[in-house]
């Protein structure tokens, strides 16, 4: 009998495992894949390492919030590499480039050179972002609940319209936001401000890929006595007399536990509990009816050796006039891309891998929904080839000659994510938060079943920062907030 069973070893599941084993709980994590980490997984082809989800994080400088969290999670010793402070991101809007530098003051100074008439508004903007970022720890003490709730109920798009006069500057400020879904009718200000603030604070790549994070957490969990089982796909969660008593995996094995935490999509979690005294149909329908963000198409390029100099910043390339309206219409070509260079492992100054990511909606791949990895057919291959070509055309203006330096390439779509990580409809960032319906789209860790809790990107805020924050909120339900915060 375990104290806590955790379903899924994404960042959320592993961090919960870490917190609770550190608190003395006997924890068992069940992961369906052979590799741990969910969206932190890496894969190797032809000797080159590729990342699946993770590409960079913000806020890792001393005194910044992720630094504090990662110190607690023992992740600071990983080979973090600071991105260019003069421009961690370069936003390219119809061939015009803008650098976004690290540090709020430098951010205002640099952008004021391009938008001198907007200096005061830029100052107000960064002050506001700082306030939102500084308040992140208050989520644990409920000190700033009202402020946070008001930001979840406010539109990010309208905020920018109201506070920044120049539409070109609004585009630039939103330009590094392919790390979230810029949906003008839905995106809450909280998500926009918290994520942009953390990257402006400081931005970092990991030399070696996201799996280093998962592996380090797992190593520590095991060292502290926790159990992690891979190739253990949870097939049923069993409730008896109103409490979860055990979890079945691979259709035959069972583990018993006092508490269960699920790091998989809430709709998938509920579908694993066929019989329950607590889960009413209305709650199940509500959760399974929630929309999810778009997924991502990734073109993973393996490059010829020593041909492409490493660029210590991400490129965000758009060939449209409004980054908030890159809305997909079935059959239309891709108009936005995030380009991420892998840190050179050999110190030569040349990269051997570039990933180009572009949003992809479920509807684009739905016709192959009934297929499995490697068996999706020729039409699917042709579709991926076409999108890969669109991505290369999109970045060609900023990256001339890239095409000649490609050794080979691989592609992933939302179907790949669905099949490898169980993300609902291959969504990149989980349940779509909606400022019109904040109460419905932001989920609490507590479910209707007293000893079943949720964690991960679907609840509150996605990304490394959001998932880390949520893991604390979830574990506080089991171990008590005071105990968890004491360690932090
Ligand atoms: C393309 C892409 C790029 C991204 N880039 C960044 C970035 O640069 N920076 C950043 O901060 N964030 C980024 N993110 C977001 C970030 O990666 C995620 O928010 C975070 O990793 C999600 O962690 P999670 O624990 O919520 O879920 P997941 O990573 O989805 O983990 C869920 C786990 O549950 C397992 N599972 C599913 N079903 C079962 C089952 N039945 N039984 C057992 N196990 C099961 C899965 O295999 C998986 O391991 C990106 C995401 C994507 C998709």
Helix axes 189-201, 463-479, angle to 10 degrees: 110
Ligand 1, residues 59, 250, 422, 426: which to mutate, most atoms within 8 A of Cβ? Answer: 422
Distance CA 474, CA 455 (A): 6
Domains of the chain: 2-40+210-290+434-487 (3.50.50.60), 80-204 (no CATH), 294-424 (no CATH)
pLDDT at 33 (0 to 100) = 94
Q: What is the pLDDT along the chain (488 residues), one digit of tens a residue?
A: 999 999 999 999 999 999 999 999 999 999 999 999 999 999 888 888 888 889 999 999 999 999 999 999 999 999 999 999 999 999 999 989 999 999 999 999 999 999 999 999 999 999 999 999 998 888 777 777 788 889 999 999 999 999 999 999 999 999 998 899 999 999 999 999 999 999 999 999 999 999 999 999 999 999 999 999 999 999 999 999 999 999 999 999 999 999 999 999 999 999 999 999 999 999 999 999 999 999 999 999 999 999 999 999 999 999 988 899 755 566 788 899 999 999 998 778 999 999 999 999 999 999 999 999 889 999 999 999 999 999 999 999 999 999 999 999 999 999 999 998 888 899 999 999 999 999 999 999 999 999 999 999 999 999 999 999 999 999 999 999 999 998 88
Distance CA 36, CA 421 (A): 10
Question: Residues with Cβ within 6 A of ligand 1?
Answer: 7-13, 30-33, 38-40, 53-57, 179, 233-234, 263-264, 296, 298, 357, 417, 421-423, 428, 456-457, 462-464, 467
Count CB neighbours of 298 within 10 A: 27
pLDDT at 104 (0 to 100) = 98
Task: Classify 169 as helix, strand or coil.
Answer: helix
Secondary structure percentages of the chain, helix, strand, coil, to 5: 40, 25, 35
Count CB neighbours of 17 within 10 A: 30
- Integer angstrom CA distances of residue 407 from 113, 171, 349, 358: 40, 34, 18, 21
In what side-by-side order are the strands of the sheet with 57-58? 57-58, 203-206, 80-82
Place of tokens 């690290």: 102
pLDDT at 399 (0 to 100) = 93
pLDDT at 202 (0 to 100) = 98
Expressed in angstroms and rounded, the spacing between residue 10 Cα and the centre of ligand 1 is 5
Nearest protein Cα to ligand 1, atom 10: 463
Ligand 1, residues 52, 54, 75: which to mutate, most atoms within 8 A of Cβ? Answer: 54
pLDDT at 333 (0 to 100) = 85
Expressed in angstroms and rounded, the spacing between residue 421 Cα and the centre of ligand 1 is 7
Atom of ligand 1 lying closest to residue 470 CA:
26
pLDDT at 487 (0 to 100) = 83
Q: Kindly state the helix (H) or strand (E) to which residue 243 belongs, with its residue range.
A: strand 243-249
Expressed in angstroms and rounded, the spacing between residue 38 Cα and the centre of ligand 1 is 4
Expressed in angstroms and rounded, the spacing between residue 267 Cα and the centre of ligand 1 is 15
Sequence-distant (≥ 6) Cβ neighbours of residue 188 within 8 angstroms: 151, 152, 153, 154, 155, 156, 433, 434, 435, 438
Expressed in angstroms and rounded, the spacing between residue 252 Cα and the centre of ligand 1 is 26
Expressed in angstroms and rounded, the spacing between residue 156 Cα and the centre of ligand 1 is 24
């Amino acid at each position: 009998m375990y104290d806590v069973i955790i379903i899924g070893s994404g960042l959320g599941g592993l961090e919960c495992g870490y917190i609770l084993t550190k608190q003395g709980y006997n924890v068992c994590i069940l992961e369906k894949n052979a590799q741990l980490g969910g969206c932190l997984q890496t894969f190797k082809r032809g000797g080159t390492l590729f990342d699946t989800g993770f590409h960079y994080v913000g806020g890792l400088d001393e005194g910044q919030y992720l630094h504090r969290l990662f110190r607690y999670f023992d992740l600071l010793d990983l080979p973090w590499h600071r991105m260019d402070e003069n421009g961690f991101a370069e936003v390219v809007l119809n061939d015009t480039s803008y650098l976004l530098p690290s540090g709020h003051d430098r951010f205002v100074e640099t952008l004021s050179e391009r938008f001198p008439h907007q200096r005061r508004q830029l100052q107000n903007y960064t002050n506001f972002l700082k306030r939102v970022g500084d308040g992140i720890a208050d989520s644990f003490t409920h000190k700033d609940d009202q402020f946070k709730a008001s930001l979840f109920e406010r539109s990010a798009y309208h905020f920018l319209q109201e506070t920044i006069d120049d539409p070109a500057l609004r585009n630039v400020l939103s330009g590094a936001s392919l790390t979230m879904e810029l949906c003008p009718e839905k995106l809450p200000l909280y998500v926009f401000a918290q994520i942009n603030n953390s990257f402006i604070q400081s931005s970092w790549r990991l030399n070696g890929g996201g799996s280093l994070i998962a592996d380090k957490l797992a190593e520590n969990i095991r060292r502290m006595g926790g159990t992690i089982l891979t190739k253990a796909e949870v097939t049923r969660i069993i409730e008896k007399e109103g409490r979860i008593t055990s979890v079945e995996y691979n259709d035959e094995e069972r583990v018993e536990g006092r508490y269960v935490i699920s790091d998989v999509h809430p709709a998938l979690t509920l579908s694993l509990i066929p019989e329950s005294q607590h889960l009413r149909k209305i709650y199940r329908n509500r959760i399974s009816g929630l929309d999810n963000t778009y997924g991502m198409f990734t073109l993973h390029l393996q490059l010829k050796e020593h041909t492409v100099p490493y660029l210590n910043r991400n490129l965000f390339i758009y060939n449209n006039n409004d980054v908030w309206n890159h809305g997909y219409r079935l059959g239309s070509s891709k108009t936005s891309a995030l380009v991420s260079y892998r840190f050179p492992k050999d110190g030569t100054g040349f990269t051997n891998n570039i990933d180009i990511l572009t949003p992809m909606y479920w509807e684009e791949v739905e016709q192959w929904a009934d297929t499995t990895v490697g068996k999706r057919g020729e039409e699917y291959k042709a579709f991926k080839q076409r999108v890969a070509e669109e991505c290369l055309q999109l970045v060609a203006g900023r990256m001339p000659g890239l095409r000649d330096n490609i050794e080979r390439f691989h592609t992933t779509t939302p179907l790949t994510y669905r099949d490898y990580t169980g993300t609902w409809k291959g969504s990149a960032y989980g349940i779509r938060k909606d400022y019109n319906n904040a109460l419905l789209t932001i989920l609490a860790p507590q479910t209707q079943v007293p000893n079943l809790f949720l964690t991960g990107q679907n609840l509150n805020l996605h990304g490394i920062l959001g998932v880390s924050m949520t893991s604390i909120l979830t574990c506080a339900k089991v171990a008590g907030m005071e105990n968890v915060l004491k360690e932090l």
